[in-house]
Amino acid sequence: MLRRVINPFLLLPLTLSMNTFNVLSSETKNYIDNVLEEKSNITFVDYQEIEKLVLNNQELKSLQNLVASASFNLSSQIAKRYPSLDFQANGLPKYVAGKKYNSNSPTLKTSQFTANPSLNIKWDLIAPLRGSEIKIAKTNYKIAENNYEIKKKDLIQEARIRYHKYEKSYQDIQNKKFTLDLSITSLENAKAKLDSGIGTKFEVLEAEAQLSRDQQSLNEKKIEHEINKISLKEILNVKGDFETNKEQSLIGFWNHKLNKNINEGLDKNLSLKNLILQKSIKKTQADSFLAQNKPNIYISNSFSSAFSKGDSLVTNIDSEKSGSNYTNTISLNFAWSIFDGGQNKNSYKSKIADAESEKYAYENLKNILTTSISKAYLNLKLNEEKIISSLKEIESSKESVRLSRLRYDVGISTLKDVLVRQSELSNAKSKNINAIYNYNLNIDELKRLTFLDTSKNCLGSNNTKIKDTESICNIKI
C-alpha cells in the first residue's frame, strides 16, 4: 500500500521535469534560429566564382601594391642607362650692396644684381654596377609577381576549403534534422506503447534522452554552420548575407596519374621558381662586389654663366651698366678603385656561399612537394572508396532501422535496438558527408599543387569510361 502511495509522488517531479525540458528544448531551438537569422543584402556565391571573389581580399590587394612597387623600382634602375641633367642657380637673382672704405684710397661702393645659372650633364658610359642593379631589380619584380600568384592561389584554395566546410555543415544540419525526426517518431511510439499498457516508462525516458541529445547536436551544427559562413564571408570580403548551392556534390573527377601529378607540380611550382630566382639574385650580388673594383667611365658637360647689372667696388655706381659671361666644359672622366684590402673579394665569397645554400632549400622543398602531392593523391583514392562504402552503409542502415521498428512494433525487440540503429544510420550519413567533403578537399589540394584541372568525365587508366557499377564514376557531379 505504501509503494502505491509513494510511486505517484516520485513520478510527479519526473513528469514535471520532462515537461519543463520539452519547453526549454523548444525555446532553445527558437532562440538559436532567431540568433542565426540574417536576411540583408543577400548575394549568391557559387563555387566557380570563388576565384573572382578572392580578388577582393584585402591581403591580396596589399601584395598587388608590392608588385607595383617592384615595377617602379625596376623602372628606376633602368633609368640609370640614360644621361642625367642638373640645373643650378646661385641667386636668381642675387643683389649685393655695400661700401669699402680705405683712408689711402677713395671709398668704393657696390650696388649690383647678379644671376649665376649652370647646367650639368652626366652620362655613364661604363658603369660596372649598373647591369647588376638592373638584373636584381628585374628578378625582384618577377619574385613579387610570383608571390602575388602564390598568395592568390593559396587564398583560392583556402576559400574553397571554407566553402566546402560551409556546404558540409549544412548537410550535417540536414542529417541531424533527419535523426531528430527519427527520435521524435521513436518517442511517440514509446509513449503510444506506454499508454496502451505494453510499453515501459524506462523506454519513454530513454527516447526523451535521445531526443535531447539529438536536439543539442542539431543546435551545435547550426552554430558551426554560422561560424563557417562568417569565415567564408571574411576571406571573400563579402558584405551582408549570401546564399550558396547547398547540395553537397563532387566537384569533378581526377583522371591524372600520380607520376604526372608530381612532374607537373614540380615543373610549375612558383615557390621552387622563386628559390631559383633568389639564387640568381645572390650570384648577381656577388658579381656586383667584384664590379666595384672595375673602372667607371663617364662623360660630363658643364655649362656655367653669369649675368650682372650695376657696379661693384667703384667710386661712382652706374646702375645701367651690365655684363655677362659663360663657360662650357666637356670631359671624359675615369674613376677606378684599385685596392680595398680584399673587402669586395670576401663579400663576393660570402654571397656565393649564400647562393649555394639555396640549392639545398630547393631540394628540400621538392621533397616536401612530392610528399604533399603523393599524400593528397592517395587520400583522394581512399575517399573515393569511402564514398562508395558509406553509400552502401546508408542503404543497409536504412533497412536495419525499418526492420528494427517492425520488430519493436510487434514486441520482439526493444526501443534500445531502434535507437542504436538510428544512430548507425546517422553515423553512416555523416561518414558519407565527410567522405565527399574530404574528396573535394583533396581535389582542390591537387589542383593547387599540380596546376592540373578536374574533368566532368571519369576515365580509367586507358582513358576509357569505367562501367563498374561500384565506382565513383557513377556518382553525379
Q: Between the CA of residue 171 and those of 18, 162, 248, what are the distances in Å?
A: 30, 14, 7
Q: Decide: 327 and 292 in contact? Cβ < 8 Å.
A: no
Rounded CA gap, 216 and 228, in Å? 18
β 43-45/242-244 pair status: parallel
* Residue reference for cell 547547398: 246
* Residue reference for cell 556565391: 45
Identify the burial level of 139 via C-beta atoms within 10 angstroms of its C-beta, where 0-12 means exposed, 13-18 middle and 19 or more buried: buried
The pLDDT profile of the chain, 477 residues, written as one tens digit per residue, is: 333 333 333 333 333 333 433 434 444 455 566 555 655 567 788 888 888 888 888 888 888 999 999 999 999 989 988 888 888 887 777 888 888 777 777 877 777 778 888 889 988 888 888 888 899 999 999 999 999 999 999 999 999 999 999 999 999 999 999 999 999 999 999 999 888 888 889 999 999 999 999 999 999 999 999 999 999 988 888 887 888 888 888 999 999 999 999 999 999 999 999 999 999 999 998 888 888 888 888 888 888 888 887 777 777 777 777 788 889 889 888 888 887 778 888 888 888 888 888 899 999 999 999 999 999 999 999 999 999 999 999 999 999 999 999 998 888 888 899 999 999 999 999 999 999 999 999 999 999 999 999 988 887 666 666 666 667 887 765
User: Which three-class secondary structure state does DSSP give residue 336?
Assistant: coil
Q: Between the CA of residue 389 and those of 248, 332, 382, 395, 396, what are the distances in Å?
A: 17, 84, 11, 10, 11
* Residue reference for cell 569510361: 465
User: Which three-class secondary structure state does DSSP give residue 125?
Assistant: strand
Rounded CA gap, 8 and 358, in Å? 82
* Residue reference for cell 610570383: 146
Helix axis angle, 201-236 to 128-196, nearest 10°? 160
Rounded CA gap, 51 and 41, in Å? 21
Cis peptide bond upstream of 117, omega within 30: no
Q: Decide: 159 and 50 in contact? Cβ < 8 Å.
A: yes
DSSP one-letter code for 6: H
Element (H, E) at 154: helix 128-196
Cα Rg of the chain (Å, integer): 41
Element (H, E) at 461: none
The greatest distance separating any two alpha carbons of the chain, rounded to the nearest whole angstrom, comes to: 150
Query: What contacts 24+ positions apart, CB below 8 Å, involve 227-230?
Result: 228/162, 228/165, 228/166, 228/169, 229/166
Rounded CA gap, 124 and 335, in Å? 11
Rounded CA gap, 327 and 279, in Å? 50
* Residue reference for cell 575517399: 383
Rounded CA gap, 46 and 268, in Å? 27
Tell me the β-bridge partners of 96: 112
> What's residue 48's pLDDT?
85
Rounded CA gap, 432 and 394, in Å? 8
